[in-house]
Chains A and B, each alone.
Chain A
Amino acid sequence: MNLENRYDFVLIFDVKDGNPNGDPDAGNLPRVDTETGQGLVTDVSIKRKVRNFVGLVKEEQPPYEIYIKEKAVLNLQHERAYIGIGAEEELKSDKKRKGKAESVEKARQWMCQNFFDVRTFGAVMSTGVNCGQVRGPVQLTFSRSVDPIVASEHSITRMAVATEAEAEKQDGDNRTMGRKHTVPYGLYVAHGFISVHLANQTGFSETDLELLWQSLTNMFEHDRSAARGEMATRGLYVFKHDSKLGNAPAHSLFDRINPHLKDDVTVPRTFKDYQVDIDETDMPNGVTLNKIVG
C-alpha cells in the first residue's frame, strides 16, 4: 500500500560501557564533537543496523533483499530467485528494443522492488546519465548525545599471541596488550524524515514503514558485540502528518521531545537519570504523535 502521510521521527538510544560508533580518524575512539564534547553517531551507522536487522528477520529474500551487506552478519552466498515483477514478460515482449534510458529506468525500478535498502535509503546505479540514482524516502541525521560524553580508554591483555615469532620473543610468556574505548553512559538523539513523494517513487510501502519502525526499535538487540557494550532504543516518537506535504515544520515538532538530565543528577550512568519531557499541548492541526517506544 502506498504511503499517504509524511512522517518525522525522533529516535533516542543509549549506550552503557560501550563504543556506539568509532572514529577511524581517532584510533577508533567514540566520535565526539570537539567543541561541545557531545558524542556523535553517524547516520550511516544507524542505517547499517537497520539493514542488518531487516536482513536478519527477512532472511535476505526478495522483496526484502539487502544490497549493501556486511559479511559478519550474513554469509548467505546461495543464489536468490527474484520475483521479476513484470520484468520477465516485459523484457521478452520488448522486441522493439526501446531507448537505453528506459531500460535503465526499468532496472532501477526492479532494484527498488527487490531490495529493501534501495527503496528505503536510495542507491546510485552506474548509468552514465547523471540522474541514474534512486533517492530514498528515509532521511536520517547524525545522532548527538544530550550531554557531553567522556571516552574512557581501557588497556586489556590477551593470554595468547598471534605468531610463533612473538612467542619466542616473550620466552613463552605469551601476552599481548590491546586497547578498547568505551563511553560510560551516553543518551543519543537522532532525527529522521520520511517523504511520501520519494516513497511513492521507490515503492516504499506501509508494510515497509512498519518494518522500519520495528527495526529502529529492535536493531540494537541483534547488534551485540564486544565493542558496543549495552545499547538500546529508549524512545521512538513518530509524528504523523495527515497530509502528504505535512502540516507543520519538522523542527517545531522535534522541539516537543526534550530529554534532559533529572535535577538531582550530575553524572548520568543509566537511562533512569534522564527524563524525557513530551509536550503534547496545542499540537498542530493534523499532526498526531505516536510513541512507539518510550
Chain B
Amino acid sequence: MTKQYCLEVSGDFACFTRLEMKVERVSYDVITPSAARAVFEAILWKPAIRWQIHKIEVLKPIRWINLRRNEVGQVISTRNVQTAMKNGHGNLALNIEDERQQRAGLFLRDVKYRLHASFELQNDSQHIHRYPHLNANSDGDGSENNLIKFQRMFERRASKGQCFNQPYLGCREFSADFRLLKPKDDPANLPEELAGERDLGWMLYDLDYSNAADPSPRFFQAKMNDGVIIVPDWNSDEVRG
C-alpha cells in the first residue's frame, strides 16, 4: 500500500449537500469521501494521481445551523455570450431581483475532522487522453510522473500550509484550515456524544467521472464507530452506483 497521509481540517461551517435535497441544501452528518478528496486535491493534484480516502475521524460533536440566503436561479447562457462576442455589443446581464430564489440551508457548524488518504499513480492510458494538453511537454514515456516526487511535493506543500486554492468544506464559502499530522499522532479526543456505533445511512461516496459528460453518483453505507468512519475502497463491492 502507498504512503498514507493524515490531514486535520476544521472550519466554522460546512455543507456536504445531500444529493436528494439540493434545492434547499441539507448537509450530511459528516464530510463525504468526495469532499475529503477535494481537500487533498486543493493541495496537490495532477491528472496522473488519484486520491483514495481510507478513514475519516470526526473530532467534534455534530451541530447544525439553519441559514437562508438570496440566491440566483440562472446560469449564463453560452449562446447569448457567443452572439455578443460575434456582434461586439449586446446586453449581457442578470438582474438578481428577477431571478431571485430564497433558499434555506441546513449546514454543519464548528467541525473538525482527521482525514486519512493516500494516492496512487494512474496508468497513463487512463488520463492522457483526457488531458492531452498537460502532457504536451513530456517525452511521451510518462517518466515525469514519479510517485516519490509527488509524495515529496505533497508533504512539502501540506506541512507549509501551501495549496493550489484554499480547501473548503463542501462549499467555497466554508473554507477549511488544514494541518498535516504525522500518522502516529495520538488518537483523537473523542467527544462523548460520538461514542458508540452510529449508522449514518447511505452516503455519497463520490461521483464516477468515467463518463465525463454524465458523472454518476456512487454511494456507500457509512457506519461511525466512536467517531471513526472506515471508507471502503472505490472499487469494492460496498460502493454502489
Contact surface of A with B, Cβ cutoff 8 Å: 8, 23-25, 31, 33-35, 40, 42-44, 65-71, 77, 79-82, 84, 87-88, 91, 103-104, 106-107, 110-111, 115, 118, 123-132, 135, 137, 139-142, 144, 191, 193, 195, 197-198, 243, 245-252
- In addition to A66-B93, A245-B163, A249-B178, 19 A-B residue pairs with Cβ atoms within 8 Å of each other are A23-B68, A35-B109, A44-B71, A67-B92, A68-B72, A80-B91, A82-B88, A84-B85, A91-B86, A110-B81, A123-B75, A123-B76, A125-B81, A130-B212, A139-B165, A144-B12, A195-B166, A246-B160, A248-B161
The main secondary structure of chain A at its interface with chain B is mixed
Cβ-defined partner of A245 (8 Å) among B63, B65, B157, B212: B157
Known A-B contacts A81-B88, A198-B165; the reply to A129 vs B213 at CB < 8 A is: yes
The complex places the Cα of A285 from the Cα of B102 at a distance, in Å, of 45
Q: Can you report 22 A-B residue pairs in the complex whose CB atoms are below 8 A from each other?
A: A24-B68, A25-B68, A40-B67, A44-B173, A67-B76, A67-B94, A69-B94, A70-B95, A70-B96, A70-B97, A77-B91, A79-B91, A87-B85, A91-B86, A107-B81, A110-B81, A110-B85, A139-B168, A141-B175, A142-B12, A243-B162, A247-B162
Q: B95 to chain A: which residues have CB within 8 Å? A: 69-71
- Looking at B70, B160, B177, which has the most chain A CB atoms within 10 Å of its CB? B160
- Residues in chain A near residue B75, CB distance under 8 A: 123-126
Contact A124 B12 (CB under 8 A): no
Q: Give Cα distance in the complex from A264 to B212, angstroms.
A: 61
B173 touches A42 (CB 8 A): yes
Chain A residues with CB under 8 Å of B91's CB are: 77, 79-80
* Chain A minimum-CB-distance residue to B97: A71
In residues 149-175 of chain B, which contact A (Cβ within 8 Å)? 157, 160-166, 168, 172-175
Residues from 40 to 83 in B contacting A, C-beta threshold 8 Å: 63, 65-72, 75-78, 81-82
Least CB distance from A170 to B in Å reads: 31
Quote the shortest CB–CB distance from A246 to chain B (angstroms). Answer: 5
Question: In the complex, A85 Cα to B70 Cα: how many Å?
Answer: 34
Query: What's the Cα separation between A37 and B220 when bound, in Å?
Result: 37
Check if A139 sits within 8 Å of B89, measured CB to CB.
no
Q: How far is the CA of A42 from the CA of B63 in the complex (A)?
A: 19
Q: Please pick, from A111, A128, A249, the residue contacting B161 in the complex, using a CB distance under 8 A.
A: A249
Q: Does B201 sit at the interface, judged by CB under 8 A?
A: no
B177 engages A197 (CB within 8 Å): no
How far apart are A217's CB and chain B's nearest CB, in angstroms? 21
A193 in contact with B12 (CB, 8 Å): no
Contact of A141 among B162, B164, B173 (CB under 8 A): B173
CB-based contact A245/B164 at 8 Å: yes
